[in-house]
Structure 1
Amino acid sequence: MDGKKTGILSIVKQTIIDSKDYVAEGVDLLIKTIDETGALSEIPVVSQGMKVLEIKDSFQQHKYRRNCAAFLEACKINDTETVENLYNKLNNTGKTEEFTDSLLLITIESSKPLKAAIVGRLVSKLCTRDIDYTSYETLVQIIHAASVASLLALPEFIKSNDGFPYKHSNKIPEEALLFACGLAYRDGSKFNITELGVLFYNCAFKDYQDF
């Protein structure tokens, strides 16, 4: 396996474990101000990550910092043992490279920090075993490929529908957006969110006030 990716996953693991300290120091504020100095530069996954990945372009550095901050703010895990368990499981099942690739795909390439925040929530649920790895990996690929509007259409539909993942109607405002990312289907006049879509909603949106 690529030595760089091995190093990055180790950095990510330790950063998540220490994330309570970073959040306490104001990571959410850093997201709003895009502060690229001070506390944010001290976060290992940011400072060491850019060195290991050799990110030199200033725009890419800016985007990577911002996405890492959004990811950390969202990935709040109180039980650090669960992070260690996930790290060990990834190593033991040969999923380390795949997991790292997916995480880097979001933190390096996403144009909006919202995608990194959503993945941060999913990683938190992965640690607590509220979502299985296969579903997690599939959702990360959907998040990367989908538009922000399509992703937000999921909580918009379910919350406006009193929490139900289906509705008998031929007029669903979010239908096209949810079809576009494969999270919904129709059975005659009944509009349905897929099982994966329901899991996605429960893990990334249900218990949160924002988006």
Structure 2
Amino acid sequence: MKGSGNTQQSSPRRAARDVRALALALTVVPIIAGGLAITYLPGWLNAPGASGPPDARAAHAREKTEAEIGQRFQRGVASLNAEQYEQAISDFHRVLELAPRMPEAHVNAGFAMIGLKRYAVARDFFEGALALRKNQVNAYYGLAEALEGLNDLPGALGAMRAYLHLAPADDPYRRKAQSAVWEWEAKVAEERARGKPAPAGKGKDKK
């Protein structure tokens, strides 16, 4: 997290490396191990002109959709890990077109937006993930980083504390999260001691 001196420039890059690894650890496993549960049928499934029994057509279309989701998701994770954030966003957007209620894709899109320093958009993705799944642990970590990027330290503190509350004791990111909480608490206390309110951000990405 941020320290002193030239930290405003270095922290987002370090944070991006951290959240890339966190995204890879927590979201690629469900794709490989458990497959995907598609919660809706795309409108083209029963389009006129398709051949074969309706049930067979629907099953075949679902298989194709699930295959594309899996391929796009894993390619997005690989792009995220390679710091190819624009490509990652393209893939996760496609995943969300096909499976809009997949919180893992919202989370990873948020991490890619952090890599691009588009913190307001990242925040929206993380909040979208949490609206779908309240206990999506890495979404709280990412949300905290996004809110820090927006200079909303009280919000970042709340999100990171939620992460610490939900993360298991052996989570490899607990130490980084706790360090961030201590640092942000100190900054908020310092601002209050100076008689200034803690910065709460303006909801826009930094230039």
- Under TM normalisation by the shorter chain, which class is it? under 0.3
- Bigger fraction of residues in strand: 1
- TM-score normalised to structure 1 length: 0.25
Structure having the higher Rg: 2
